[in-house]
A = this chain, B = another copy of it.
Amino acid sequence: MSLSSLSVALPVVAEPSSLALRFQEVRNRTATLCAPLLPEDTVVQPMLDVSPPKWHLAHVTWFWETFLLKEYLPGYSVYHPDYAFLFNSYYNSLGSRVNRADRGTISRPALADVYAYRAHIDEHMPQLLALADTLPPAFHEVFELGLQHEQQHQELLATDIKYILSTSPLAPAYQPAPAAPARTPAPPAAWLPVPGGISRIGYEGTGFCFDNELNPHEVLTTDFEIQNRLVTNSEYQEFIAAGGYQDFRYWLGEGWELVQSMGWEAPLYWVEKQGQWHRFTHHGLQSVHPAAPVTHISFYEAQAYATWAGARLLTEQEWEVAARHFQATSTAGTFLESNLLDPQPLPPDADPTHCHQLLGDAWEWTYSAYHPYPGYNRAPGALGEYNGKFMVNQLVLRGGSCATPASHIRLTYRNFFHADKRWQFTGIRLAR
């Protein structure tokens, strides 16, 4: 699958039958993702960034109910009067809600009740979609947003489930391990030149994109070089072995304080056992594959690694310029649909002149703040809170990961996290 096919946007207005099909497909994937979980797994919140899977299941459902059924389905009445309080995430426009820190302290409604809520919405949405022809463009936009929103929560479900299971000393597996990829070494990294000049970035298609990708505009970059693949576990182990976590010179100040106060010595999920690095995965504890991309690192670690390696991270402008430059020849990486839930090593014979893993496998930390594009304006109403209010103190990540649905990602997609976050599949691509 080439990148260009991935970046083909979905049409905003489709025939009703197709809308219903797409709705069903997205909803099914969410349920499938949660199927291996016990009810116990679905209520806990072992850290603030993680939400209980039961909450995700209900929240995405509340989104459909609040923004579509309540608005557009004649005669629809709200399923339960307390669910808005329980399952609103962060919309100030929509009233008070459970503190984020308390999501894991509430056992009721039961998981079965949340599935009943899902079923209720899944019954009513087709009724609404049958009327789609008669509904205004705003309906179609929000319907599309609902699909994308639920896909975003699929990625969060995958990573939150991983974190939840990791906190037990039993190291339980979410699913059996697939056949392990051969322990062949990664092909040596190669530097690929990207010519400077004026380029356009931002979404220009006719399909869906988030408002933060809009206002395509010109950017100016100088000549630079990009590595043709992600940094591997084996390369990152060299950084660890060289004392990278003990030498403040590689680190940003706030990162260094964190390393010391948290006692970080390796990526999240890494455990040394009998002198060998293992990592907790969706398949339990596994030995680290040397050729697979390193993941579960903070921006601070990505930046420190790059400094140690005598290189640097890309800006998001450079990333997008490079991605567009190499789009034709690059092959896609691993996505959620593969059900592998782990970034995969590049084949040893991968073409060294191509730029690999641009989409999929691991989100790539950029050294760009998540700020508005020129001309950005928040939409009015609750959905104006979707993206805009987060535009400070976070960094942009690009490219999607092995937990991102393939139909969700684009070259223009701007993900964002605080510099200290590690529970997503976050990795490193070097530039110079």
Size bin of chain A's contact surface: 35 or more
Query: In angstroms, how far is the closest chain B Cβ from the Cβ of A23?
Result: 27
A193 CB to closest chain B CB (Å) equals 16
Find chain B residues with CB under 8 A from A170 CB. Answer: 82, 108-109
How long is the Cα–Cα vector from A164 to B43 in the complex, in angstroms? 12
Contact for A44 among B44, B251, B392, CB less than 8 A = B44
Contacts of A42 in B (CB 8 A): 40
Kindly state the separation between the CA atoms of A41 and B39 in the bound complex, as whole angstroms.
9
Whether B169 pairs with A44 at a CB distance below 8 angstroms is no
Q: Find the B residue at minimum CB distance from A393.
A: B393
Least CB separation from A371: chain B residue: B367
Q: How far is the CA of A47 from the CA of B102 in the complex (A)?
A: 10
Q: List 11 A-B contacts (CB under 8 A).
A: A40-B42, A40-B43, A44-B104, A44-B106, A44-B107, A82-B169, A92-B256, A106-B167, A368-B369, A369-B371, A392-B395
A243 CB → nearest B CB, Å:
14
Quickly give the copy total for this chain: 4
Residue on B with the closest CB to A196? B218
Q: State whether B110 touches A38 (Cβ < 8 A).
A: yes
| Contact of A107 with B38 at beta-carbon distance under 8 Å, contacts A82-B170, A170-B82 already known | yes
A30-59 interface code vs B (CB 8 A; 1 in, 0 out): 000000001111111111000000100000
Distance between A233 CB and nearest chain B CB, rounded to angstroms: 25
- Of B104, B251, B378, which contacts A104 at CB under 8 A? B104
Q: Inside 8 A of A300's CB, which chain B residues have their CB?
A: 392
Select one of B45, B392, B419 contacting A392, CB under 8 A.
B419
B389 near A253: Cβ-Cβ < 8 Å: yes
- Considering the complex, give the chain B residue whose CB is closest to the CB of A248: B92
CB distance from A54 to the nearest CB of B (A): 7
Q: How far is the CB of A83 from chain B (nearest CB, A)?
A: 9
**A168, B108: Cβ atoms under 8 Å?**
yes
Interface string of A72-90 (1 = CB under 8 A from B): 0000000000100110001
- Chain B residues whose C-beta falls within 8 Å of the C-beta of A105 in the assembled complex: 44-47, 104, 167
- Chain B's closest residue to A222 (CB) is B374
- In the assembled complex, the Cα of A255 lies from the Cα of B388 at a distance in Å of 12
Distance in angstroms from A408 CB to nearest chain B CB is 23
Q: Mark A402-427, 1 if CB is under 8 A from B, else 0.
A: 00000000000000000100000000
A90–B257 Cα gap in the complex (Å)? 11
Q: Is A390 an interface residue (CB 8 A)?
A: yes
Which A341-380 residues have C-beta < 8 A from chain B?
A: 367-369, 371-372, 374, 378
Q: Which of A250-283 contact B (CB under 8 A)?
A: 251-256
Q: Give the CA-CA distance A389 to B393 in the complex, in Å.
A: 16
Asked if A64 lies at the interface with its beta carbon under 8 angstroms from chain B, I say no
Residues on B with beta carbons closer than 8 Å to the beta carbon of A374: 222
A 108-122 to B, binary, CB cutoff 8 A, 1 in contact else 0:
111100000000000
